Structure 1
């Protein structure tokens, strides 16, 4: 196969495109984190319906949008046709997002 002058062959270039196409079609899990807390096991065992677990975030603080448990953005809760959604207010740069996934 002929090279393109910089040492890469047509096969190398098409393989790169295939890898990119494959990667872009892999499903990922997205979750939104409202906050976190730590509990002792005894406190966890005492939780019942109606219990309130206090989290580390203040009301109005941005929520974390996680992809496969990796932070990729922050945002605020919105309603979309009676369902919750997240309006992104800040997004981790693409290069950093891909590196961390």
Structure 2
């Protein structure tokens, strides 16, 4: 085991947050105040477009949303 491997060993059980970004949209405060349940907010991305993947808030890669056993899953396409 290398010295670097030994240093990494201490951190292997640290939990990290993974999140996906389907898009960003800017709305005026006026539009936000008028929102009500059932309103739709449309984004520019299409359903089949790749999603940005973030690890602890930092861009980590891109992936595609897939369904496995009736649950949303992420297939990693590229790591940054």
TM over 0.5: yes
| Structure 1 vs Structure 2 CA RMSD | 1.9
Q: Whose helix fraction is larger, Structure 1's or Structure 2's?
A: 1
Bigger Rg, structure 1 or 2: 1
Instruction: Identify which of structures 1 and 2 has the higher relative contact order when contacts are C-alpha pairs closer than 8 Å and 6+ apart.
Output: 2
How many residues of Structure 1 are paired with residues of Structure 2 in the alignment? 78
Q: Whose strand fraction is larger, Structure 1's or Structure 2's?
A: 2
Tell me which residue corresponds to 1:27. Answer: 15
Structure 1: gaps of 5 or more residues: 1-12, 93-101
TM-score, normalised on structure 1?
0.67
TM-score, normalised on structure 2?
0.82
Hey, which bits of structure 1, 4+ residues long, moved more than 3 A?
A: none
